Structure 1
Amino acid sequence: MHIPLRTPDLIIVVLYLLGITWFGLRFRSRGERSIRSYFLADRNIPWWAIALSIVAAETSTLTIISVPGIAYTTDFGFLQLVMGYLLGRGVICVLFLPRYFRGELMTAYQIIGERFGSRLHRTTAFLFLLMRAAAEGVRVFAVAIVVGVAFGTGDIASIMILSLLTLLYTFEGGMKAVIWTDVLQMCLYVLGTLVSLWSITHHIPGGLHSLIAVASSAHKFTVFHFAVSVTETYTFWAGLLGGCFLTMASHGTDQLMVQRLLAAKNLRESRLALLSSGLVIFIQFSLFLLIGAGLFVYYRIAGGPPHAASPDRIFPLYIVHQMPVGIAGLMIAAILAAAMSNLSAALNSLASTSMVDFYLPRHQQQGEEQKTKISRWMTFGWAAVLLFLAILSRSGGHVLEIGLSIASVLYGGMLGVFLLGTVTRRATETGAMIGLIAGCVVNVMLWRQSGPLSVYGFVLPKIAWTWYVLIGSTVTFVLGYFFSRGGGNQAARSRI
């Protein structure tokens, strides 16, 4: 049974929702505006704002509610994956970013068209739309978990409230509104996270000292698991290698992140934004995991948690039941800030890919005003799609892991294509297309696998989702390279 927030907390949440919407609307255009301005904010955003925007987009509601749930049920092993995130960022700075800043690009997939051709260009752009829409549907549903616990509303009503408010300022302000609302929202949810940690330690007899002592005795602070296994999700090798490849795909080939990096003034500031965001992410995930360990200690002392359908609801239930008046409202507003930040980024990136990679090649003759108008309506259309997918994605389990595993299915093939274009001159469009299809098929099979699978007498174990991108990109690269042998003129094109 849901227990809605008290009146002062509700007032804080409502004021936040109205305030952030008003703030985002301040970036609406006052006259004719180009799509370069609408989707890239005229490439005039400072690096630190892009870094905070990257963190905000990477954080989402899934992170805030699901990472504490992971620490509550297991330990700090998730940080192994975050270490891979840091390594992946370094590879992107060396391998991909210099290519993106060689021309006037607005999406990650235009560069595939320059290297391979229009067929693979449209295919990778379509896969992004498919992947981002599916993954974002799960993320939008995560909003319903928080709003439903706080307000006592149903899932559908909760999703609609946040979606409509986020759409309003994203529709009007474009990328500039997205980035600057991200900065404000990140400051809010970091503040809320610190206040939550203070509240938990305040409720534990003995405070922080007892939290650390009890959590240590329960091995909650264990980070490294050096088992060599493809079935365990959080091991050192799965985290370092799997996290590296996942970040190379998510931040190097996914328009959601690439669009932010392209909004930087130059290559140097883009690299600085990406690397500094990694340090913030590591600190942030550590805080979320510490909250989960604190909840474990608190409920062990208190005699057990309230009834919850999944570990993802433990933290929202604590906020509503245990936090003081005013503080609970602040934390709910902080979680909603992360949700709106991620949703606005998804809407803008989906619209930019639809516009630049599919609409513009056939309608170059239209004026900038008309193109911007159509871009706005594409934003509206994708909001409707995500709303529908969020309603369909209601299910149990760790929503963070569900969201990441969905993205990982297609990330492998996408990353493999970008690597084919970057590290070899031999790859052709046909070879890369064959590799892409094979990589995606392999990852779908791994994702759909419910247990050990027998193939020609060999028993394949159920592989953890953290390995999906590495496996998929390897299959794509190897087969793409093999089928590009003797590939003629396309193989002679310059590298990405």
Structure 2
Amino acid sequence: MHWIDWVILILFLGYTIWDGSRRGYHSDNIEGFFLANRAMPWWAMGLSVMATQASAITFIGTTGQSYVEDMRFVQIYLAVPFAMIILCTTLVPFFHKLQNFSAYEVLEERFGLSTRLFTSLLFLISRGLGLGMIIAAPSYVLALLLNFPLSPTIIIIGITATLYTMVGGISGVIRTDVKQMAVMAFGLIFSFYWIITSLPPEVGFSDALYLAGNIGKLDALDISFDISEKYNIWTGVIAALFLMLSYFGTDQSQVQRYLTAKSLKDARQSLLLSAYAKVPMQFFILLLGVMLYVFYIFGSAPITFRAVDVQAQQQEEVIAGEMLQQEYQSAHQNRRQAAQQLLETRSPEQAEAFRKADSHLNEVRQSELQRQERVTGSSLNDTNYIFPYFILNQIPVGIIGLIVAGIFAAALSSIDSELNSLSTVFIVDWYKRLDTKDRSEAWYLKSSRIATVCWGLLATLAALALGETRSIIELVNMIGSYFYGSILGVFILLLWVKRANGYGALTGLISGMATVFLFDRIYDNPATGEWILIAPWNQIPGGFEKTIEYLWLNPVGTAVVVVVGIVISSIWKKSG
């Protein structure tokens, strides 16, 4: 990267730390630190919510997702508008009326301290693990920039975000998120523009869409009902609805946004901003990944986009790598020629030839990734390196720094939000609630900053432990799906099941979590109809696939919590 880009990136990071930190000097109590004295305007909260969602995972993971697969991932966001409307009429006014610090405080009054603590503990675990992924995402970019291993770059990102969140509190988080959202938008729009203008002169935007459509890259809707498929319209409208309701309605990182609102109207408007913008934004980012795929049909692309070359020690692996490299170059040339001929003829026969050439090239790529797995002894792919590789090798000097700053902005806007919410829940639901001593506001404010640092360190360690992984955009949603459905079930019992009591809620919550983890380990063999339960530490036998994909774990968890909660509450009431 050119020194001009380094200057831009360093200035941006320095400004972010300064701007986020200076807001915290005006906080003299935990209400100011965690809730900005409930004085935030709706547009700032709405942009902050969007910035939190549009993390570096969105930049890197979503573009990589559509590059290696297609645009069906957009279907999981179809439920966002419906979820926002439901929440604006239910949980948002409920929380605003109570004026709590934490989303889980209200559970104690109805269901007891144990339910409150266990629910908040589930949030701390899920968000702590998810934050590890959010820290890892920009580290892929920094690893490419510095030609460093992933671990040192994870530490740099984790410490940077922790510093200004520790000082600035929620006010610093929201104010910096607004500015970071602008940088993110610029990075995405310019990248899309540069890809389109960098295509060969004879290939226009409509031609690029035509090529992408021929190989299925534009597939966005799948109307088949199959719970073993990750992405179809039913997954997006039904299963993902539970995920979105829980994420925006019971996750402290999101609830904390509208707890800072001046009024109920402002809180609702902040959520509706996301309802209108989320699906178009995700569609655009997925389309960016598809256009990037078309760009590399004509442009020179490596066989894999990994940050470092895998060095094989065995001679046969070295020879295999050289042969795959030669085959890839030939396949790439054949695919480019097939694409050009297809644009000239637009014939069905040439379309089939193009699809075969594209399939062959991807088979060679997959063979090389498998070779790298054999050499390294670990499961690897290059999904998270694709967009960073394009930026560093195709974008002009000066703009690289701005786009990389946009990726860092996306990461920091998510990391700071998660850190602040983790600190809030730990202090309010655990430390302050269980502390028997009469402490001053200054004491709890100091403790909140210490908690922020501790969570930052823990999340950084989680990122180091997870390290190299498959598509991070999928993994972060998978982590959430293990927890969100069950947490949503507790709030349904709270708001709409009057006969539910603490015994039923806690038993339902434990049952929901157990069921989710059980269902996640069920595999079946479509050829034989056989199904088995596989422990996490056991290898999956050949021919077996997941019976239930991860998004469906959300309604499963919710249903089990509600049903068990009602049954146990009724039994306990009768026995009592």
| TM-score, L = length of structure 1 | 0.93
Counterpart residue number, 1:454: 532
Cα shift at 1:451? 5.2
Instruction: Give structure 1 regions of 4+ aligned residues with deviation exceeding 3 angstroms.
Output: 303-306, 446-455, 486-489
CA displacement, residues 268-324 of structure 1 (integer Å, 9 cap, x when unaligned): 111110111122222221221111111110111225455224222111111111111
Q: Which of 332, 342, 365 is the matching residue for 2:404?
A: 332
My pick for the range that moved more, 181-190 or 279-288, is 279-288
Counterpart residue number, 2:79: 84
Q: Which of 110, 114, 129 is the matching residue for 2:109?
A: 114
Counterpart contact for 1:73–1:311, Cα < 8 Å: yes
My pick for the range that moved more, 378-387 or 393-402, is 393-402
Counterpart residue number, 1:352: 424
Counterpart residue number, 1:290: 287
Counterpart residue number, 1:45: 40
| 1:66-465 equivalence runs, <5 A | 66-205=61-200, 206-302=203-299, 304-308=301-305, 309-363=381-435, 365-449=438-522, 453-454=531-532, 461-465=546-550
Counterpart contact for 1:171–1:376, Cα < 8 Å: yes
Counterpart residue number, 1:494: none
Counterpart residue number, 2:371: none
Distance (whole Å) between structure 1 residues aligned to residue 273 and residue 385 of structure 2: 31
Cα shift at 1:260? 0.7
**What SS does structure 1 have at the residue aligned with 2:532?**
strand
Cα shift at 1:449? 4.5
Distance (whole Å) between structure 1 residues aligned to residue 518 and residue 80 of structure 2: 25
Cα 1:303–1:28, aligned 2, differ >3 Å: closer, same or farther? closer
Q: How many residues align?
A: 483
Distance (whole Å) between structure 2 residues aligned to residue 450 and residue 29 of structure 1: 54
My pick for the range that moved more, 335-344 or 304-313, is 304-313
Distance (whole Å) between structure 2 residues aligned to residue 60 and residue 396 of structure 1: 17
Percent same amino acid among aligned pairs?
31
Cα shift at 1:362? 3.2
Counterpart contact for 2:99–2:259, Cα < 8 Å: no
Distance (whole Å) between structure 2 residues aligned to residue 18 and residue 326 of structure 1: 17
My pick for the range that moved more, 360-369 or 424-433, is 360-369
The structure having more radius of gyration, on CA atoms, is: 2
Counterpart residue number, 1:476: 561
Distance (whole Å) between structure 1 residues aligned to residue 90 and residue 571 of structure 2: 26
Distance (whole Å) between structure 2 residues aligned to residue 217 and residue 305 of structure 1: 23
Distance (whole Å) between structure 1 residues aligned to residue 434 and residue 66 of structure 2: 50
Counterpart contact for 1:426–1:487, Cα < 8 Å: no
CA RMSD of aligned residues (A): 1.9
**What SS does structure 2 have at the residue aligned with 1:229?**
coil
Cα 1:362–1:433, aligned 2, differ >3 Å: closer, same or farther? closer
Distance (whole Å) between structure 2 residues aligned to residue 242 and residue 277 of structure 1: 19
Counterpart contact for 1:144–1:158, Cα < 8 Å: yes
Counterpart residue number, 1:7: 3
Cα 1:485–1:186, aligned 2, differ >3 Å: closer, same or farther? same
Distance (whole Å) between structure 2 residues aligned to residue 326 and residue 243 of structure 1: 40
Distance (whole Å) between structure 2 residues aligned to residue 261 and residue 210 of structure 1: 44
Cα shift at 1:26? 1.9
Counterpart residue number, 2:19: 23
**What SS does structure 2 have at the residue aligned with 1:133?**
helix
1:248 counterpart letter in structure 2: L
Cα 1:175–1:213, aligned 2, differ >3 Å: closer, same or farther? same
Counterpart contact for 2:523–2:546, Cα < 8 Å: no
Unaligned runs of 5+ in 2: 306-380, 526-530, 534-543
CA displacement, residues 322-347 of structure 1 (integer Å, 9 cap, x when unaligned): 11111221111100101111111111
2:7 counterpart letter in structure 1: I
Distance (whole Å) between structure 1 residues aligned to residue 151 and residue 571 of structure 2: 54
Counterpart residue number, 1:466: 551
Counterpart contact for 1:89–1:248, Cα < 8 Å: yes
